[in-house]
Amino acid sequence: MFEGRRMRFKDRNAWWFRLFRAVEMPFTRLFPDHPTVNWAISQITYRVDSKAFANVKAPRRFSEYLMRDKLGPSGRDPLRAATTCKYSVKSHISAAIGEAYAVPTLALLKTEKELADFVFPTPCVVKPTHHSGEVIFLKDRQPTLIERKRMRRWLFLNYFYMSREPNYKPLAGMIIVEPFLTVDGKPPSDVKVFCFHGRPKFFQVDMDRQGGHRRVFYDLDGEQLPLSRLYPVVEVPCAYRDRIAEITEIAAKLSAPFPFLSVDLYVLPDRIHVGEMSHFIGSCAVPFKPDAADEMIADLFNNPDAPITAARLRSAA
């Protein structure tokens, strides 16, 4: 329910975080899938993070535009659901840009028995196909008893009831096992390209997510943007300047059907993989800072050709 605030928690594997989710899920399922209920829960989530209520009738902020689409008919577009599922999205990736860009699937587990009998091919990454923010890394071991219980619980979760993101509701509960991708022995940084009507405009890089999480934004020339979202601004030179053309070409093709899409990439030294495609980031509750930059980004919903550059954002501050 409070996805935006929950994203501030640095350690998603901490016992108190898992307990919070275990309590949250049955509580939120008490509230039915009804337009008024979905609107109310979304507004509460927005209020927690933005200290205001979202104006979805006359949106001005980035998150307000997102929430308008989330609560409207387009939020239930079957293509959104298909590209939200971490397994079925690979078909969309393969059709749009080629199978080589999809992360290989080592196994797809659909039942408790399949999970109980499965021997994990280490190193690997394990996550639910129908949920957000859950992952277990197995470098050189089988999962612990606690981790197996956590995986079993994944099979019965429906993330819609926590986030009210309708693209999650029709997804079947499955667990996907993928290779453990690394750069210099560590998980690669997450590169998220923000696209409006099929046009990549800027990208976010999340580094050291397993500890000391840093988040930086860059324009399409690789210049750092004076922009933050959840995490404070830190000065980090762009490591992907010579890959930006390929990154944006991938993102443009994948995002073409949607008014907004975050295309999440793993940029490895010899290749690029698409990790997932995110439609309603932060449950439509997490703003960009400063406010003037947030409004400039929001304008891309109506004017997707407008440039997003460091100089332009500074001039708006």
**Can you give 169-207 as a three-state secondary structure string?**
CCCCCCEEEEECCCECCECCCEEEEEEECCEEEEEEEEE
- Measured over the CA atoms of residue 210, residue 293, residue 42 and residue 84, the dihedral's sign is negative
Q: What does the alpha-carbon distance between residue 94 and residue 13 come to, in Å, rounded to a whole number?
A: 32
- Check residue 73 and report its DSSP letter: G
Q: What does the alpha-carbon distance between residue 30 and residue 22 come to, in Å, rounded to a whole number?
A: 14
Cross-strand partners of 262: 194, 278
Predicted pLDDT of residue 90:
98
Of 129, 126, 132, nearest to 161 by C-alpha is 132
Predicted pLDDT of residue 184:
86
Q: Could you give the angle at the alpha carbon of 272 between the alpha carbons of 190 and 125, nearest 5°?
A: 60
Predicted pLDDT of residue 143:
98
Helices 89-97 and 244-255, axial angle in degrees (round to 10): 120
Q: Which pLDDT tens digit goes with each residue over 256-300?
A: 999 999 999 999 999 999 999 999 998 899 899 999 999 999 999
Determine contact, residues 181/188, Cβ cutoff 8 Å: yes
Predicted pLDDT of residue 309:
95
Of 19, 5, 1, 41, nearest to 158 by C-alpha is 1
Predicted pLDDT of residue 10:
41
Hey, where are the domains in the chain?
A: 3-103+186-316
Q: Could you check whether the bond before residue 123 is cis, i.e. omega within 30 degrees of 0?
A: yes
Predicted pLDDT of residue 48:
84
Q: What does the alpha-carbon distance between residue 177 and residue 46 come to, in Å, rounded to a whole number?
A: 33
pTM: 0.90
Predicted pLDDT of residue 6:
41
Predicted pLDDT of residue 18:
54
Of 252, 294, 247, nearest to 50 by C-alpha is 294
**Residue 239 half-sphere exposure toward CB, CA atoms < 13 A:** 16
pLDDT averaged per 10 residues, the chain (length 317):
40 51 66 94 88 94 97 97 98 97 98 98 98 94 97 95 95 98 90 98 88 88 94 89 98 98 97 97 91 96 96 86
Determine contact, residues 149/80, Cβ cutoff 8 Å: no
